[in-house]
Amino acid sequence: MTESSRAVRVRFCPSPTGNLHVGNVRTALFNWAFARHHGGTFVFRVEDTDAARDSEESYQGLLDALRWLGLDWDEGPEVGGDLGPYRQSERMPLYAEVAKKLIDAGYAYYAYDTPEELEERRETARAEGRSSGYDGLHRDLTDEQRAAYEAEGRKPVVRFRMPDEAIVFEDLVRGEVTFEPEHVSDYVILRANGQPLYTLTNPVDDATMGITHVLRGEDLLSSTPRQIPLHRALVELGIGEGVVPEYGHLPFVMGPGNRKLSKRDPGGGLADYRDRGFLPEGLLNYLALLGWSIGGDREIFSLQEMAEAFDIGRVNPNPAQFDPKKCEAVNAQHIRDLPVEDLATRLLPYLADAGLVGSEPSEAELALLAAATPLVNERITVLSEAVEMLAFLFVSEDGFAVDPDDGAKTLTDDGLTVVRAARDALAGLDPFDTASIEAALRAALVDGLGLKPRNAFGPVRVAVSGRRISPPLFESIELLGKERTLSRLDSALAR
């Protein structure tokens, strides 16, 4: 990694086109950690010039996603800053002005080729084994030639004039990278209708916002040899903050079939993780492991610890394989590390969505959740799993039901014999607490009926919780209470 004395300024610049991809989230995370590690500035800007795909709903979703993730930005929407605006749709006059300056200075030119002409010349180049990029035919048109094309009604695009030399740069992740000129032809920066392309807007924004380091996905590596000469031209013209950024290209995140993970793949979009109940800190911890390590064999760490240790030079350039099970395991550890009060608060929205508690929970519901949370924090990998585990405690007796499959397997004639013995053992129990419940049931079922614990407690678990898998049985019965427990045992026997 090259060193720079400039104050670090990095950016995250997604397009508001729907569900944020987890690969984009990792890019945001690495930029955030790089800025925080160096005491720099994390800029959030939005590339919303594609009117056909961008939407205000997606824009608000981006803001909400970054807030949920906890990746706070120093400049950008809702925060402001001296180098805004931070939405490209509000910067269109700037792009037109810069394009004109580039043309006037000879860094860009009008090209009048028709699509048919371009394709014909590309086919010829491919047949001859040459590069099929733009051949520069309209690089040096005279005023008369331009006038003739315009008389035909042709509308020109604007192309940037690439230097006839190799582009060499030091990638912060990959080391020295070289692109020979025949592989990087003159490229379009303005469409014929005057609409600026990413090839212009992105570098102009980076230049005018003083971005010092660009950390982005490997899929954009081919853009870099085009953008570096444009940045140099902007510096020569005095446009922006006089900075040519350093670039680092992050490895691909690979999904099923060892192909690049798409947001359409299961687990590819951020919304899936939020809906399932991943903790933002758990998800970010796992995404950090896709190409980077905090050191040693350590895998669990906080955002703050990542920021303190982050070194872009230690990012592995090789593709990173997304492992859903590993992601869940990392998230589960973060759930276990949460204080009980915090975990209970995070569970509330999922219980409310399931209709198990009110939108404004009562004191009794909050107290029951606080008592029940320690019973599930070691048993769930995502927050939504607690809903099924805790439903039996919150559902009304009229709404309680035994899972048909679990009931059929467990509440057989032998199972109901166990339930009847359990009911008799608990009916006169006082006090009705965990220790007393365990002692009474062990005496009646293990000692009295001579059953192994698994066979002794399974039917009771299904009768009171409705499922074969539940939180610890004795603690659950205490929370359920004597009256409701006996009622459910009676209902099982009545079946």
Q: Choose the catalytic residue: 155, 260, 263, 326.
A: 263
Q: How far is it, in rounded angstroms, from Cα 177 to Cα 167?
A: 8
Q: How far is it, in rounded angstroms, from Cα 71 to Cα 192?
A: 38
Q: How far is it, in rounded angstroms, from Cα 127 to Cα 124?
A: 5
Q: How far is it, in rounded angstroms, from Cα 382 to Cα 274?
A: 10
Q: How far is it, in rounded angstroms, from Cα 492 to Cα 9?
A: 65
Q: Which residue has the tokens 């931070």?
A: 86
Q: How far is it, in rounded angstroms, from Cα 319 to Cα 316?
A: 8
Whether 263 is a known active-site residue: answer: yes
Compute how many other C-beta atoms are within 10 angstroms of the C-beta atom of residue 374: 14
Binding residues: 263
Q: Residues 302, 233: contact at Cβ < 8 Å?
A: no
DSSP 189: E
Query: Comparing C-alpha atoms, which of 339, 481, 346, 462 is closest to residue 408?
Result: 462
Which residues contact residue 280 at a Cβ distance below 8 angstroms, ignoring those fewer than 6 apart?
68, 69, 70
Q: How far is it, in rounded angstroms, from Cα 306 to Cα 280?
A: 14
Q: How far is it, in rounded angstroms, from Cα 201 to Cα 47?
A: 9
- Tokens standing for residue 72: 């706070």
Binding residues for ATP: 263
Which residues contact residue 64 at a Cβ distance below 8 angstroms, ignoring those fewer than 6 apart?
none
Catalytic residues: 263
